[in-house]
Structure 1
Amino acid sequence: MNRLIFGIDIINGSVRSGTVRPHYALVRVENGAVVSEEKNVTQYRLIRYLRTERPEILAVDSIQELASNTAALYAFLAEIPNDTKLVQVTGDCVHMESLPRVAARYNLTFDKQNPIEEAKASALLASFGAGYEVLAYEGVTDIVVSRCRSPGRGGWSQNRYVRKMHGAVRSHAREIEMKLVAANLEYMVSVRRAFGGESRAVFTVYAPRRDIPISSSKGGDTQIRVSGRRREKLEFRQLTRKSKYLILGIDPGTTIGVAALDLDGNLVYLASTRLFSAADLVSEIAGLGRPLVIASDKAEMPFGVEKIRRAFSAVAWSPKKDILVKEKYTLAGGHDFKNDHERDALSAAMYAYRTYKNKFESILRRAPAGFDIDELRALVVRGCSLEQAVAKLSGEEPAPQARPQLSEAEVEAEAVIFDERDEKITRQEETIRRLRTLVATLSQESAGKDKTISALHRRLNAEREEQRAKLLASSEIIERDSEISSVKKQLRKEERRCKNLRTRLERMKLYISLQAGEGCSALKVLPLLARDAVRSLDDEMGLFAEDILYVLQIDGWGKSVIRDIADAKVKAVILPRHVFARAREQHLIEEFREAGLPVLSGAELSPRVKGKIGVVDTAALDAALEAWIATQTVYQTERQSEALDSMVKEYQVEREREVREQGIDPATILPEKYLRTAPEQKPIVVVKKPPKVSEVKAKDVVPTVSPVAAPQSEPQVMEVPAEERDVLSSVLTAYRKQRKKEISGDE
């Protein structure tokens, strides 16, 4: 199959500047041979060439020569054919290399100052499989079939035109659907119905753009737009996914040292660890690349190294005699190693590389251009000659060469000369002998380990039976231990409780001793007027009747805590001077008076406090209590008077409202003293029909038939004498009972 590849390189201009458009050098390569060269190709002409000739690859050393940003690159990729790959031969924009360095890997040389030579190198490298393909679109394609003209507005002729246009959209959508079914492609379709057919059909095909048998078009009444779905960001995929070859040096043991060199002698990896098993080490090495040679610093390769070599089918290398420590430091010089294991592994790898170094340089000089040098080196190290390696990579068998006629002396001389293959055969035979010895030794070790494993299994079963018997015998002990543990927990809990009770008892004794002092009364200090503080004081010292509390703070007080203290029948509550002033501002004194709990100011008593308790002078306390009781009596009398006045006013309002609802002027029925205000200067017509007895009490009604006029300059509030308050209170109580009965009867 003919492979046409375009290689380009920018000559002048720039895609970033709008003044000078870029011009490119274009080289066409077909089947590895240069077909044509062309200079000063604009980007428009390049796109036209790509659409006409449809090459397999468009190779460039940097995609920045084609587009100034990502959006421009997406636009460029949308214009070129779908089956043409854009390849950047110098890397994936993360790991980048120069073009000469990549070309040297394939034994190519070119003039870096000549754009034609650079374009040729890019095309040849892409044909060899070097570089990364730029992926801008996902494997999903959108096909949109829509109207090409506006439906407009009009009469019957316009409707016929719209039907024709929508019918054309539906016909094209059905044709596209038949093609997708014939191509066995998975798709989804979304259709927008319209007058006479369809105005829009969107196909989502789960296949890349190059596999879609439909192209974009526009004509007549419809247009078809085929576009791939963009990726979130550009991705790069290597054309030939081959791992690089490595020369490994391994130092086995409890701590494993590993050193990896590429075929140019550069250090790729150096580490040592005690955590890797053989499988982990194989997985780690496989992630680095393909081991070509595995080396050891011992003349006889250790079994651990040989096991890893067999896992990769690599070539074994070991020195003729063990490498000395002095030689190891010389070989590993110039590299940083952390310990002796890394040093030994690195010295083995460097020794192996020096062994093959001359052969690698010879291959580089003799190898033809266009072949991967690392592949040639790998084949030569595995036993092929350079000609055989080139033929194998090119897919051709090497032609047999005719041997010239030799004399007998030359034949005898040739018979005693060993070539490289004879040396390899000798080494392989030696390796086979060692392997056979190793297999025999391993077989013996395996048989002995099998016997040991059987004996250990028997011993393990016996110990398990013994342990099971012990567990069955110790079930009672376990139950007792659990019971003892539970009893110990309860004991510790009771000890803590006893300790708290002893502390409380000592405080109560001290409080009682202070209470028994002459001329002094004991106090209990309450830090804060809150329920939690009261509860804590009750737990510590107890809260009993006739106790005197000294409250230090009143922040966050509530009526509930005052009720709790009052329910405990505390004798009195003392507040410091500044706290007492704040309590008066916050109306806390009225709450104490409502609860009947004496509250005293500490300014007059001068209490002495120490910790949770204190003392106060008994005579001063009794005098303060007598003064509080006197003021409390006055306060209660005032409250009762206010309550009675409110009851009288409530009664007046209710009676006046009730009489007015009956259409009767309250002034004609009620005495002036039971009215809230005197009537206004308006004539009042008295209804002759008397009110119902059930609604108005007989003793409260004053019958009259004459109009009443009581002109006054301004309304005045009625004052009830003290001797009539009891009568009004009883009347109001009877009235409330009657209203409750009437309300319940109405319901």
Structure 2
Amino acid sequence: MSTVFGIDIRKGNIKSTTVHPRFSLTEVEDGRIVSEEKSISIPRLFRLMRQKKPAVLAVDSVQEIAGNDAGLWRFMASMPAETPLVQVTGDGVTMESLPVIAARYNLKFDKTNPAEEARVSALIASYGGGYEVLAFEGVTTVIVSRARSPGHGGWSQNRYVRKIHGGVRTKAREIEVKLKEAGLSYTTSAKEAFGGVSRILFEVKAERAKVPVASARCGDIQIRVIPKRRDKILYVPRDEKNPYVIVGVDPGTTVGVAVLGLDGTLLHLESVRAQSPAELISVISGIGIPVLVATDKAEMPAGVEKIRRVFGAVGWNPKKDVQIKEKYAAAKEYTFADDHQRDSLSAALMAYKSYLPKFENIRRRIPRGADVNAVFAGIIRGKTIDEILVPDEKIPETAEPVPQNPQIFDEKDLDILRLEGEVLKLRKLSTDLSKELEAKDTALRSLQKRVSQDRNEQLAAVLLSEEVTSRDRELEQTKKALRKEERRCKNLRLRLERMKRYIALTAGDGALALKVLQQFSRDEIRSMDDEMGITEDDILYILKIDGWGKTALRDLAEAHVRAVIFPKHTYAKACSQHLTDAFREINLPALSGAELSPHVRGKIGIVDEEAFYRAESAWKNTQDAYLKDKQTNALSGMVSEYQVQRKHDVMTMGIDPATWSSEPENAAVPLKKTDISSGKIKIPKTPAKVPALVTENKDTGKTTLQIENNILKAIQSENTGSKQEQSEERGTATRNRETADKQSGCEKKDKELKTDIITTVLDTYRKERQKELMQ
């Protein structure tokens, strides 16, 4: 008689620290329900398990009794050692719902009732279903130690300590005798103390259920039995029999295979090119036991027939070849990769649907607890339900129904059947070897630690090598380059955003866009050029001019910007530092922002278009006057410089400066600087003939004196001609006012001729001066 406990959580949560969970409990004995309890606590559950010692504790999910692996270890350590824990819904990875599992055993229940779920879990476990949970290895640790600390005592403290430590040694000897009687292998380690031992540890190489010692506390001594935890919790199926399946095959160069469970669940679907029959048979046998092999052709192909005979399965083929439209309709609820998968899947589904009415009819006659899939497999093989349900008789997995037309088996088929038997034996051997492998895991871990240490030492040596160092250096350089490029990309994105805003401002009506410079310096100009670019016709708004230099002016001149605007106070500071004059030298408008009122946001801004045009026009007018004054000052300075130099030369040659400076009778009237700039000297439309500036003479001193006199005569003749022209123009203006516009045009031309004459005089002077110095 085997007793099975089934539990299901009723209320509360196992993870809660305030509300303790309550469970429904069902006790099943040999498939019969013995008792049920609607609400019990975990401590009461453990007490009942120690009293009745059930063969199995079944639960639909371990998540109901433990929130994580550590909680599950603690729960299983508190259970009786001889009672395994079974999860009926899956192996922790591939999980199925409890109703699906119950349907395989023809069980029905109310999903909303925890008591019925506990009953179904217990029945499934009693029928051999579910997965056993393995949390511990085959090693158990037994610790014998004192149960209390001696503390501070009086005269009898030493005697009391000797009593405790002696009791620990005595109890350890008793446990050692029990282990020897049980024939178990173990190792011990003890901690010596005053009068005996304070702690002894037994490491027994056996499962906890086989160790004849239990955790207890007696007086001053305590015993703890601790099984060794596995690195990972395992779920082992209790029924290792392969399921019965329906196989659909599409033969050819590329073989399509579809495997269905007897409940219609798709278990496997693939298409493989150039796969041999042996490989295909191996794949199918690894999934389950075929009881029905189907094809979509009216006449079963030879390759499909061979697979059917190897497994001893029943063949299924339609009355006529299945059309493509029918294949799509049959497999529309599934996903397939190609036509081969579609054909094999449609054949398997059609074969399943042809038996489905019979399955539904038989299901009502199957008793509770019977293996529904085994019954369905027997029906496909042609058995009656009475033959299938005969007690103590199992359905042969490889038995083939008696065919109406006996098939002739060749030697290859017999070899395949023989090899299948060997495969089963090898599987059993593999199970035994896997258990042996678990026992060797401990030794393997220690070796892995040693290997890891050796690898670390080798790795340290490799890292010290020059090659690795150079590669690390290259990697570091590559990382730096990557970070640099990332920063560059970030700057380019910011520049792009600013350019977009700048273009949007430029496109505005009645406003011009500004590019803002925080400081008038070369670095700031380069930064602006990198971020937004400084191009021709740009208008710059400079906030500060501290530390300006000629290099910054040269950069702006080379960029050909349209104008520069300063704030009010900055413009005043620029005037005091002669920065505005420097801008005039490079012919770059420098405007004050006091009248323009620019609006700045970040590194861009706007200014009113009409106000800017007015300020720019006013600056150009003042620039023309500035250029004229500059030209006049240059001419006057050159004449003064010449006079000073001539006096020095005359004195050097021994000539009396008083005699040299006396004017001749026909001496020219000295020309003032203001006469040229104010326009008092007028140039006639047809200028008077300019006398020769240089008269050839062997006497160098006289030649030099005559140069100066000729320059003065030329200027005087120009003045005389301009006076005559002026009187003539006045008479003409009195006679006819209608020609005023023409005369104004003539005056402009006269000014241009005047400028040309002065330029000619200066060029001639320079050439003569060079000849004189060369002599």
TM-score, L = length of structure 2: 0.49
Q: 1:139 and 1:109, CA in 2 relative to 1: closer, same or farther beyond 3 A?
A: same
Measured against aligned partners, the alpha-carbon deviations of 1:509-534 in whole angstroms (never above 9, x if no partner) come to xxxxxxxxxxxxxxxxxxxxxxxxxx
The secondary structure found in structure 1 opposite 2:13 is: coil
Q: 1:130 and 1:170, CA in 2 relative to 1: closer, same or farther beyond 3 A?
A: same
Which residue is equivalent to 2:134? 135
**Alpha-carbon distance, 1:379 to partner:** 2.3
The secondary structure found in structure 2 opposite 1:227 is: strand
Cα distance in structure 2, aligned partners of 1:206 and 1:243: 33
Cα distance in structure 2, aligned partners of 1:285 and 1:243: 11
Counterparts in 2 of 1:478-497, with a 5 A limit?
none
Aligned: 1:87 with 2:86: yes
Aligned: 1:100 with 2:96: no
Which residue is equivalent to 1:688? none
Cα distance in structure 1, aligned partners of 2:246 and 2:132: 29
Which residue is equivalent to 2:429? none
Which residue is equivalent to 2:485? none
The secondary structure found in structure 1 opposite 2:45 is: helix
Q: 1:180 and 1:384, CA in 2 relative to 1: closer, same or farther beyond 3 A?
A: farther
Which residue is equivalent to 2:242? 243
Gaps of 5+ in 2: 415-775
Which residue is equivalent to 1:732? none
For these two proteins, the number of residue pairs brought into alignment is 411
2:405 corresponds to which of 426, 430, 450: 430
Which residue is equivalent to 1:259? 258
Cα distance in structure 1, aligned partners of 2:343 and 2:394: 41
Cα distance in structure 2, aligned partners of 1:220 and 1:15: 34
C-alpha contact (below 8 Å) 2:314/2:401 kept by paired residues: no
Which residue is equivalent to 2:226? 227
Q: 1:40 and 1:340, CA in 2 relative to 1: closer, same or farther beyond 3 A?
A: closer
Cα distance in structure 1, aligned partners of 2:195 and 2:76: 38
Q: Residue 361 of structure 1 aligns to which amino acid in structure 2?
A: E
Cα distance in structure 2, aligned partners of 1:376 and 1:51: 38
Which residue is equivalent to 1:678? none
Aligned: 1:167 with 2:142: no
Measured against aligned partners, the alpha-carbon deviations of 1:7-41 in whole angstroms (never above 9, x if no partner) come to 22222333333443322222111111011122222
Cα distance in structure 2, aligned partners of 1:253 and 1:395: 37
Q: Residue 177 of structure 2 aligns to which amino acid in structure 1?
A: M
**Alpha-carbon distance, 1:144 to partner:** 0.7
Counterparts in 2 of 1:385-464, with a 5 A limit?
385-392=384-391, 425=402, 428-432=403-407, 435=409
Cα distance in structure 1, aligned partners of 2:411 and 2:205: 59
Q: 1:316 and 1:186, CA in 2 relative to 1: closer, same or farther beyond 3 A?
A: farther
Cα distance in structure 2, aligned partners of 1:154 and 1:336: 80
The secondary structure found in structure 2 opposite 1:177 is: helix
Q: 1:47 and 1:184, CA in 2 relative to 1: closer, same or farther beyond 3 A?
A: same
Cα distance in structure 1, aligned partners of 2:191 and 2:303: 70
Cα distance in structure 2, aligned partners of 1:311 and 1:395: 21
**Alpha-carbon distance, 1:226 to partner:** 0.6
Q: Residue 185 of structure 1 aligns to which amino acid in structure 2?
A: L
Cα distance in structure 2, aligned partners of 1:439 and 1:183: 51
**Alpha-carbon distance, 1:213 to partner:** 1.0
Q: Residue 277 of structure 1 aligns to which amino acid in structure 2?
A: S
C-alpha contact (below 8 Å) 2:249/2:257 kept by paired residues: yes
Measured against aligned partners, the alpha-carbon deviations of 1:148-183 in whole angstroms (never above 9, x if no partner) come to 343567899655544443333233223222222222
Counterparts in 2 of 1:718-733, with a 5 A limit?
none
Cα distance in structure 1, aligned partners of 2:123 and 2:77: 25
Q: Which moved more, 1:76-85 or 1:330-339?
A: 330-339
Counterparts in 2 of 1:279-318, with a 5 A limit?
279-318=278-317
Which residue is equivalent to 1:376? 375
Which residue is equivalent to 1:482? none
**Alpha-carbon distance, 1:209 to partner:** 0.9
Cα distance in structure 2, aligned partners of 1:83 and 1:437: 50
Counterparts in 2 of 1:532-681, with a 5 A limit?
none
Q: Residue 7 of structure 2 aligns to which amino acid in structure 1?
A: I
**Alpha-carbon distance, 1:323 to partner:** 4.5
Q: 1:272 and 1:6, CA in 2 relative to 1: closer, same or farther beyond 3 A?
A: same
Which residue is equivalent to 2:352? 353
C-alpha contact (below 8 Å) 2:190/2:197 kept by paired residues: yes
**Alpha-carbon distance, 1:304 to partner:** 2.7
The secondary structure found in structure 2 opposite 1:430 is: coil
Cα distance in structure 1, aligned partners of 2:162 and 2:219: 14
Which residue is equivalent to 2:343? 344
Cα distance in structure 2, aligned partners of 1:438 and 1:79: 56
Q: 1:156 and 1:274, CA in 2 relative to 1: closer, same or farther beyond 3 A?
A: same
**Alpha-carbon distance, 1:258 to partner:** 1.0
Q: 1:183 and 1:384, CA in 2 relative to 1: closer, same or farther beyond 3 A?
A: farther
Q: 1:155 and 1:10, CA in 2 relative to 1: closer, same or farther beyond 3 A?
A: closer
C-alpha contact (below 8 Å) 2:381/2:401 kept by paired residues: no
Which residue is equivalent to 1:192? 191
Which residue is equivalent to 2:652? none
Cα distance in structure 2, aligned partners of 1:101 and 1:300: 36
The Cα RMSD (Å) is 3.2
**Alpha-carbon distance, 1:217 to partner:** 1.8
C-alpha contact (below 8 Å) 2:295/2:316 kept by paired residues: yes
**Alpha-carbon distance, 1:393 to partner:** 6.4
Cα distance in structure 2, aligned partners of 1:128 and 1:353: 26
**Identity across the alignment (%):** 53
Which residue is equivalent to 2:73? 74
**Alpha-carbon distance, 1:136 to partner:** 2.3
C-alpha contact (below 8 Å) 2:8/2:24 kept by paired residues: yes
Cα distance in structure 1, aligned partners of 2:328 and 2:151: 89
The secondary structure found in structure 1 opposite 2:212 is: coil
Which residue is equivalent to 2:209? 210
Measured against aligned partners, the alpha-carbon deviations of 1:681-739 in whole angstroms (never above 9, x if no partner) come to xxxxxxxxxxxxxxxxxxxxxxxxxxxxxxxxxxxxxxxxxxxxxxxxxxxxxxxxxxx
TM-score, L = length of structure 1: 0.50
**Alpha-carbon distance, 1:81 to partner:** 0.9
Q: 1:255 and 1:43, CA in 2 relative to 1: closer, same or farther beyond 3 A?
A: same
Q: 1:316 and 1:32, CA in 2 relative to 1: closer, same or farther beyond 3 A?
A: same
Gaps of 5+ in 1: 397-420, 441-747
C-alpha contact (below 8 Å) 2:251/2:303 kept by paired residues: yes
Q: Residue 252 of structure 2 aligns to which amino acid in structure 1?
A: G
Q: Residue 143 of structure 2 aligns to which amino acid in structure 1?
A: V
Q: 1:117 and 1:338, CA in 2 relative to 1: closer, same or farther beyond 3 A?
A: closer
Q: Residue 317 of structure 1 aligns to which amino acid in structure 2?
A: W
**Alpha-carbon distance, 1:394 to partner:** 7.6
**Alpha-carbon distance, 1:374 to partner:** 0.8
**Alpha-carbon distance, 1:77 to partner:** 2.0
Aligned: 1:33 with 2:8: no
The secondary structure found in structure 2 opposite 1:210 is: helix
Which residue is equivalent to 1:144? 143
Cα distance in structure 2, aligned partners of 1:395 and 1:369: 17
The secondary structure found in structure 2 opposite 1:432 is: coil
Cα distance in structure 2, aligned partners of 1:33 and 1:108: 14
Q: 1:439 and 1:213, CA in 2 relative to 1: closer, same or farther beyond 3 A?
A: closer
Measured against aligned partners, the alpha-carbon deviations of 1:158-213 in whole angstroms (never above 9, x if no partner) come to 55544443333233223222222222222222222334433322111122111111
Q: 1:218 and 1:317, CA in 2 relative to 1: closer, same or farther beyond 3 A?
A: same
Cα distance in structure 2, aligned partners of 1:437 and 1:160: 86
Cα distance in structure 2, aligned partners of 1:326 and 1:17: 56
The secondary structure found in structure 1 opposite 2:246 is: strand
Cα distance in structure 2, aligned partners of 1:395 and 1:312: 17
Which residue is equivalent to 1:59? 58
Measured against aligned partners, the alpha-carbon deviations of 1:597-631 in whole angstroms (never above 9, x if no partner) come to xxxxxxxxxxxxxxxxxxxxxxxxxxxxxxxxxxx
Q: 1:32 and 1:254, CA in 2 relative to 1: closer, same or farther beyond 3 A?
A: same
Q: Residue 251 of structure 2 aligns to which amino acid in structure 1?
A: P
Cα distance in structure 2, aligned partners of 1:18 and 1:367: 46
Which residue is equivalent to 1:626? none
